[in-house]
Amino acid sequence: MFKLIVRRIFLGLLTLLAISVIVFLGTEILPGDVASAILGQSATETNLAALRETLGLNRPAYIRYFEWLGNILSGDLGVSLTNGMPLDRIIGLRLWNTVYLALYAAAVAMPLALGLGLLSAAYPESHFDRTVSSVTVFFISIPDFVIAVLLIMIFAVELGWFPGAIHRPRWEDVFGTMDKTFLPMVTLVLTLLAHVVRMTRAAILDVLKQPYIEMALLKGASKSRIILKHAIPNAMGPIVNVVALNLGYLISGVVVVEVVFTYPGLGRLMVDSVVFRDVPQIQAVAMVFCSFYVALNIFADVGAIMANPRLRYAK
């Protein structure tokens, strides 16, 4: 078990190393020039050359990559080109906003999705099962920004129940912040619901087809006892995987939602960084997103191994 966990962590670190190369190369091949974007169109060639020398843009790309990677490993994310502030301070403030929104959505979506998936598996092909499947497929087929715009038009503009834009959450007022972030939370919940519901339903139904379940039915065990005592523990592996992967989406996939609701999170910070050509900020935010996603993938693998003893031994 320990060796499997260490192996997963090692593969995760290798994945992050490969991601760092992709992120750095992606920012290198962006069209335009960083110095020109900072100084504007009225900059002279002398000023541009001096700024490129200051930023180290004249050095070879591989030297700048290893220097950037070494700074990240030492905890130095760099300085923003937009306002000159340390990136760890900027990202720290925005990260908490994104994590809060993700946890808020997860606290609503996961219990609801697991409950609907269990009920659908308990009564397959029923009217309830078909209704849940149809509704979840409908919402998963609609892009995030369309759901967000519809919610703003109905509940913010027409009814006026919730604000359509969140400029700065006030953490001293928890319930007020939950009210202000209700619409982006609902947008994320509707997007995530279908994945977890369908995976939970499929995993439970797959277990219910096993011979030992049929034997338990023949012995007179109730359906609720079979599902709670036998089906859920044996279906926990794929359920844990899909939950962890969707939590990863909540952290790294909120870019569109945050932009639509003008929510001051990491997603909106990423978009602003691209607009202002703040390359160090783009790189740092991208690495934070990828680190969360890789960490949750490792958690999903370890959770599946712990839930399913058959995965602990090599075939």
H helices of the chain, in order, are 2-28, 34-39, 45-55, 61-73, 87-122, 127-140, 144-151, 174-180, 182-208, 211-218, 223-226, 232-234, 236-252, 255-260, 266-275, 279-307
Cα separation, 219 vs 108, in Å, equals: 37
Cα separation, 10 vs 3, in Å, equals: 10
The tokens for 6 are 């260490």
> How many helices and strands (H and E) does the chain possess?
16, 0
3-state secondary structure of 117: helix
187-190-195 Cα angle (round to 5): 135
Nearest Cα neighbor of 104 from 198, 177, 195, 193 is 177
The radius of gyration computed from the CA coordinates of the chain, to the nearest angstrom, equals 24
CATH class for the domain made up of 87-312: mainly alpha
Cα separation, 175 vs 170, in Å, equals: 10
The amino acid present at 158, given as its one-letter code, is E
Any idea what DSSP says for residue 48? Answer: H
Tokens 């100084």, residue? 39
pLDDT at 36: 62
Distance of CA 279 to the CA centre of its chain: 22
pLDDT at 112: 86
Distance of CA 164 to the CA centre of its chain: 22
pLDDT at 242: 76
Cα separation, 246 vs 104, in Å, equals: 13
Print burial letters for 208-226: b (CB count within 10 Å at least 16), e (below 16). beeeebeebeeeeeeeeeb
Nearest Cα neighbor of 109 from 174, 188, 179 is 188
296-101-15 Cα angle (round to 5): 25
Contacts of 155 (CB under 8 A, 6+ apart): 161, 162, 183
pLDDT at 308: 62
Cα separation, 313 vs 247, in Å, equals: 27
pLDDT along the chain (315 residues), means of 10: 78 86 80 63 69 69 81 80 78 82 84 83 81 82 81 83 74 72 84 80 78 75 73 72 74 77 82 79 85 81 68 55
Other Cβ atoms within 10 Å of 14 Cβ, number: 11
